Structure 1
């Protein structure tokens, strides 16, 4: 595999020692599709530390757009290395402060047509390497080895130029997502680069894009003095200049020929120039690249040690890379001294030491955040405290927060189930009175995507008043159920009744005649409907899905959904059709991939549906389809995901499912059983105890549960509870090639509405 390749040009790549859990991580998983009909995963393969601010890595596009990470495994050239990236998202942003080492003349307007190679360079995967905390690549056009590592707030570069040849470094403050993309205007509002001394530069940029306003600061210190420098703003070039200001600021720094590598250490801050200086001083005190890379590797090995897994090498690679992706974000925006910029742009201090952002909540509330409650309990508190801070300065909880700014991307307010789940599981370190206040307020105040006055007036969202009306009605009904459960547990009976009642409004869009949830107008009239027709992010009743995929979205009350359909048999028949009914190409949009019939694993609305067979008495079908997805739609290569990885959600689905269970309702403490693929998995450190899952004979055609024991006793339920897990113990599956249609079919074996406490 390419991630194990060595440099063959005589310039030795020197990665940190890769042992323990790190040896199973392949950062190239999910970085490139293998054909035009699949999504890339959009993962970032560069250097970072767990939940750190800096993600330092390669960009293969001048103006990144798709994939959103800026890197596509199928590309053949690199334009440079920027210090901030998104990993696995469907939309691009960040790409701050691009550095590119090169050799040759300074040619600002180089193009292939005029014969100048400029800054861009060809590369091959055989001369590229990535392990946790380290990335390197041979830049073929410049005969230069670039190596990267990172701390939480800093990036460290090591460039080995050809001996006796002058090396240069281009610094680009204008590099960004595609400024011509149609969704929103991206532009650099202001940028500044200043030469502090003969080996130090500082700067910042203020930029608008997906995040409406970002301020980013940096300080870069080089291990050698500049022999010459050239600053550029727009078309104006300043030889040996001191300062450049404007919207298109770039610079080239030249260095005398040397046999020793050039190192650059770069501190980043989302707060201030002083913050960038302080972060650099706190985290990278010298130019010991190898020590920094090893420290980054050690931080990953410690973080990944929350689980022990046994299985095939590929299974362990998928699982530990999944944990790696899961722990790449949310990102701590606070400086090393805990300062952070609030949504009101004032500088504040995080009393718990961290302030997180990059909350892809429409994706991650489903499985990523429930997994965090098992393997990242302390950080779960930090995530929620950071969400509450947005409420305090902005008026409601995050929808999709990026760089501390609310983007309003996607629908619903799925910080609410994250909070409700943590509350009901007893995660410590959170002011739950304030958290409930935030959840309630966010469920009542109108903001983009949540016009609650319409819900109160019509008891559903009318499509002629609010686009994405069916998806909104269904998803907000679930959020309301979560608020209701918090209210009940807190003794707020009036609130409980209000939100519980509103959580049933999905029924008002169920059409008995067609057997689907479908759009209505404000006159109560059904709209024209085809359950195969996809919606995107507006202009349709459905969000990134169709009527088939959204039919199953009542996770708070699956028994009621079964009743709406007409009982178990009708429900199973509909599920069977869902997994076998193929759409025509013209029915499918770019958000759908990873198909099994209408099930589309490449996007989140389908993720829980496999496990619904457990609720209707045919759990062996959940086992069959869960195994099919894991075996066919995940792998250890660049094409390892069937859709965008979405900040850990795609990984979390696999991690849960490979252990044999999944949270259909992410906030009720119930996990539906499926088809474990790992021979053994241990979740460690749960209240000082371990929870062990053993799957005898698992893998391949042995996808069906024959029998189960929990702590040595026969177990016939098709679910386990959160208490079962955190109290420690051992769950043993015996797997076989044929379904056992007697196991788990009794009515009392089905998952209940919530965990009994």
Structure 2
């Protein structure tokens, strides 16, 4: 009896320990369905996908709920859809343009319908009740076929597990024609091939052009069971049991005998360089048929990466925070193979001993995501920068929006510049500062779609009649030039420093003091009218890019003090901010990216992201605390409509991560973080040097949003900013929070952020 009691106590203790370990597991807080579909009547949701991937991997194996995805389902998946068209191996997370969707597989059971019906005939209904996802794993039941589909991934390979029903024929479609709408971005398959080296293997490629030009995608797929027959179509051509087929609309149906084993496993390696490398990728990363082992490995990799920040807070906060961190760590994406081969900008294959990365959504991610990487991913930050520098050496200037190793010229400015300057000035190891300066200087001096250098130098602004989006271009190019000047100063290049500092002040040339707004001029220096600060522009044909005059007014992160002086001082500046956050008037038409409104503030798109923090620069930090807290509460939740706009490769997520901890990089290349309103009880950042930087918010709650006092490493702190050096040194930033503003804290001139 005594022994039984001992066993019982030991069992209970073991259960408690295991339970505690499970509850502490960070991947359990990640909900990949956040941001995958807007609620009824809501704006954009995030455009995220729920499928399987690993941090910064090449493969994103995820369901596509449309046979021809477009901008409204740019990630391929919409939570509000009811059917699945298949599972493809590459996706973009949170973008406003649909692209990739390479090598789609779709299992089905029962009889084959006419091949002419195409892959659409085999889509299946699904239910969220029979769907689940976690980092590195996704599963769903295909209701029309009673098939359970499970997916996991490594860096370069996808792993499928299909459990078929008994007594039905089993088939798997492999589709090389699946893509976004062929009418969008002139998308078309230039060439593709399927070949069957043996009865367990398919290999092939496709060359596709669209938003990203001339993408070459190679694959090698191995099946756990033999393929007993194949049926291939290429447009109107039909082939049975072919060994190789070339075409530009290839789709195959593969037949399997599951009388002895109902599960069919598929390992698919992807490469941007060759079939041989695709084969090597999968054989290196998934050598065995151990699906659960691959799932566990993916989970362990995610656990390690997500553990770089440990937080204390409410369960809902943890779910939003760690899902946001998960989303920031999905990209940039590895483009090099395990061999080191990668596709260069000139379409040759080159080799690197370090990973080569692509998917640089720089107009978005330079603001918050890349500064976050310098803290949490310093080694990868160096690889990101060196990938950009390698691209520059071949292409002639730095990437603007680079995808699958090629430039698509999306958005304005050249915001690889602030990313590179930020990394160099933060002394990230492994970056050659002189090479970096050559690249950023030449990119800022050469004519290209993102930065019209010739008219910039000639006029001191961008004339709207010569180049549309002129006001946004002027403001963003001025910021890039400030970044060039800062690195020139660091490297003691005085002439360059003076030249680019002068250019960084060009923003003033479009300020109309009569109306206190930035507005467009023509090449004769005349204001272009009529001017309506509420009217939106999209991506051309208007002076503002994805925003209006109100939202772009605040875009001078390199010289906030200068902007305050233009307006007429602190009082005028804060009064204008007050109007900005309370002016509800909207025109009938807004850009599709404008969402998540608080007055004219639109959190759903990046030009607004730094604005709530600007009160600190004018001596009213309690208003920064008020609005940051409001944004954190209103613009993020745990549903499929969890974001107020496109996540844009993790940028909305990065804003949440920084802001929930209590600070944000208003000027992303200044090594300065402006303090807002911490919403977490505690956040501990594990640094590469083995130190920890901890932020504590005592008494924080839904009502206690205002900073009463602060200490940095035990000493009283009234400054409304911290520096990178404070984080690197480790230590503790401690806030005392309360329900009412302390209008004395952080208001003195010496307490305000400097650029």
Which of 600, 617, 620 pairs up with 2:619?
A: 617
Matches of 1:257 and 1:432, distance apart in 2 = 59
**Residues 670, 719 of structure 1: 8 Å contact kept:** yes
Paired residue total? 731
**Deviation of 1:585 (Å):** 4.8
Matches within 5 A, 1:459-608: 459-528=460-529, 529-608=531-610
* Bigger mean CA offset, 47-56 vs 241-250: 241-250
1:117 Cα deviation from its structure 2 partner? 8.4
* 3-state DSSP of counterpart to 1:204: strand
Taking the TM superposition and a 5 Å limit, the aligned residue runs for 1:41-190 are 41-65=46-70, 66-108=72-114, 118-181=121-184, 184-190=185-191
Q: CA deviation at 1:466?
A: 0.5
SS of 2:726's equivalent in the other structure is: helix
What does 1:437-476 align with in structure 2 at a 5 Å threshold?
Answer: 437-476=438-477
Q: Name the CA distance, whole Å, in 1 between partners of 2:497 and 2:166.
A: 72
User: Is the CA contact (8 Å cut-off) linking 1:593 and 1:602 kept in structure 2?
Assistant: yes
Question: Which structure 2 residues correspond to residues 565-714 of structure 1 after superposition, within 5 A?
Answer: 565-714=567-716
> Which residue of structure 1 aligns with residue 718 of structure 2?
716
Check conservation: 2:378, 2:688, Cα contact below 8 A. no
Residues of 2 paired with 1:117 and 1:399: CA distance? 36
- TM-superposed CA distance for 1:686, in Å, is 4.2
- Quote the Cα distance in structure 2 between the aligned partners of 1:550 and 1:151: 41
Three-state SS of the structure 1 residue aligned to 2:687 is strand
- Secondary structure of the structure 1 residue equivalent to 2:588: helix
Correspondence list, 1:18-417, <5 A: 20-65=25-70, 66-108=72-114, 118-181=121-184, 184-258=185-259, 259-352=261-354, 354-417=355-418
Correspondence for 1:6: none
> For residues 372-407 of structure 1, what are the alpha-carbon distances to aligned partners after superposition, in whole Å with 9 as ceiling and x for unaligned?
010000000000000001100000011000000011
Corresponding residue of 1:7: none
CA positional deviation for 1:164: 2.4
Q: In 2, distance between residues paired with 1:149 and 1:587?
A: 42
Report the Cα distance in structure 2 between the residues aligned to 1:360 and 1:640, rounded to whole angstroms: 21
Deviation of the 1:359 alpha carbon: 0.2
**Normalized against structure 1, the TM-score is what?**
0.95
Instruction: Give the conservation status (yes or no) of the 8 Å contact 1:40–1:67.
Output: no
* 3-state SS in 2 of match to 1:570: helix
Partner of 2:7: none
Give the whole-Å Cα distance in 1 for the aligned partners of 2:58 and 2:410: 21
Which digits, 9 at most, give the CA deviation of each residue in 1:670-711, with x for residues without a partner? 111110000000000242210000001113111111111111
Q: CA deviation at 1:281?
A: 1.3
Q: Is contact 1:117–1:141 with CA below 8 Å preserved after alignment? A: no
Moved more, 231-240 or 358-367: 231-240
Tell me the CA shift for residue 664 of structure 1: 0.5
Matched position secondary structure for 1:86: coil
Q: Confirm or deny: 8 A CA contact 1:38 1:593 kept in the other structure.
A: yes
Change beyond 3 A, Cα 1:542–1:494: same
Unpaired runs of at least 5, structure 2:
1-21
SS class of match (2:582): coil
Report the alpha carbon displacement of residue 242 of structure 1 after superposing the two structures with TM.
1.5
What SS is found at the alignment partner of 1:730?
A: strand
SS across alignment from 2:149: strand
Coordinate RMSD, CA, aligned? 1.3
Q: Distance in 1 between matches of 2:357 and 2:263?
A: 35
For 1:164 and 1:106, the matched residues in 2 are separated by: 15
- Give the superposition deviation at 1:450: 1.3
The verdict on how the C-alpha distance between 1:108 and 1:705 changes in structure 2, with shifts beyond 3 A counting, is: farther
Q: CA deviation at 1:456?
A: 1.0
- Return the alpha-carbon distance in structure 2 between the equivalents of residues 456 and 260 of structure 1: 68
8 Å contact 2:65–2:86 — kept in the other structure? Answer: yes
Match of residue 13 from structure 2: none
Residue-by-residue CA offset, 1:703-728 (whole Å, 9 max, x unaligned):
11111111111111111111111100
Q: Deviations over 1:311-369 (max 9, x none)?
A: 001111111111111110000100001111100111111132x0000000000000000
Cα pair 1:46 1:56 within 8 Å, conserved: yes
CA contact (8 A) 2:534 2:587 kept: no
Structure 2 contact 51–61 (Cα < 8 Å) conserved: yes
Distance 1:510 1:118 in 2: 58
Relative distance call for 1:210 and 1:581 in structure 2 (3 A) is same
**Cα displacement string for residues 405-431 of structure 1 (whole angstroms, at most 9, x for unaligned residues):** 011100000010011111111000111
- Residue by residue over 1:199-230, the C-alpha shift from the partner in whole angstroms, topping out at 9 and shown as x without a partner, is 11101000001001100000111100112211
Which segment is superposed worse, 18-27 or 202-211? 18-27
Paired residues of 1:687 and 1:727 also in contact (CA < 8 A): no
Change over 3 Å in CA distance of 1:404–1:665 after alignment to 2: same
Separation in 1 of the partners of 2:649 and 2:501? 30
Q: Deviations over 1:646-681 (max 9, x none)?
A: 111101100000000011000111111110000000
Is the CA contact 1:477–1:506 (under 8 Å) kept in the aligned structure 2?
yes
Q: Where does residue 732 of structure 2 map in the other structure?
A: 730
Asked if structure 1 preserves the Cα contact closer than 8 Å seen for 2:455 and 2:461, the reply is yes
Could you list the structure 1 runs, at least 4 aligned residues long, displaced by more than 6 angstroms after superposition: none
State the Cα distance separating 1:451 from its structure 2 match.
1.2
Provide the secondary structure at the position in 2 that maps to 1:385.
helix
- Cα deviation code 1:608-639 (max 9, x no counterpart): 00000000011101001101011111011211
Contact kept? 1:532, 1:587, Cα under 8 Å: no
Using structure 2 for the length normalisation, give the TM-score: 0.96
